[in-house]
A = this chain, B = another copy of it.
Amino acid sequence: MIKFIILGFLNYGQFTGYDLKQMMTYSTSNFISASFGSIYPALNKLEKDGLISSTKVVENGRYKKKYTINKIGEDEFIRWLEEPIDFMRSYEDILAKVFFYKKLPKESTIKLIEQLIEDINKKIKELEKLETMIKKEAEYFEISTLYFGRDHLKFMADWYGKFVEDIKQR
């Protein structure tokens, strides 16, 4: 996960691990935040795997390692972005992709979100079947968690429905 957020930000320029942490704090902390303890090892692994490259520089007398994304990294990032959204993962995972959707052609974005909505609606129907099956025996708080699940998915389908309409009209 953190891997793709890093690749995403490196699409916009050269940054240090410290820069990336700042960017996450200011713009993605709402759904993804990372500590230095995950950013630095992730950067090292990405470089080892050839997705990014680093240059050692001294700026204002300070030693820095600036990272640049490579072609392989760009390709892997786009491949990830274009993958259908797995809505059963947390909503944070969905937002991590949405955050970078401007990198994709408008039609791709629209297709991905419409697919997402369809998948969510399928899941809602499944849940509603389950509900009618276990309604009688289940305890109040237990069944309430099912109702929350259902309503939460309805909220998601609804929100992304409006979102996709908004994207179409832009």
The chain A residues found within 8 Å of chain B, CB to CB, are: 27-28, 30-31, 90-92, 95, 98-102, 127, 138-142, 144-146, 148-149, 151-152, 155, 159, 163, 170
9 smallest CB-CB distances across A and B, nearest first, come from A30-B149, A95-B145, A101-B141, A155-B155, A99-B145, A102-B141, A98-B145, A99-B142, A90-B90
Q: Other than A27-B138, A98-B145, give 9 A-B pairs with Cβ distance below 8 A.
A: A30-B127, A30-B145, A90-B90, A90-B92, A95-B149, A98-B141, A99-B141, A99-B142, A148-B159
Number of copies: 2
The A interface is mostly helix, strand or loop, or mixed, namely helix
18 contacts between A and B (CB under 8 A): A27-B138, A30-B127, A30-B146, A31-B145, A90-B92, A91-B148, A95-B145, A95-B148, A98-B141, A98-B145, A99-B141, A99-B145, A100-B141, A102-B139, A144-B163, A148-B163, A151-B155, A152-B159
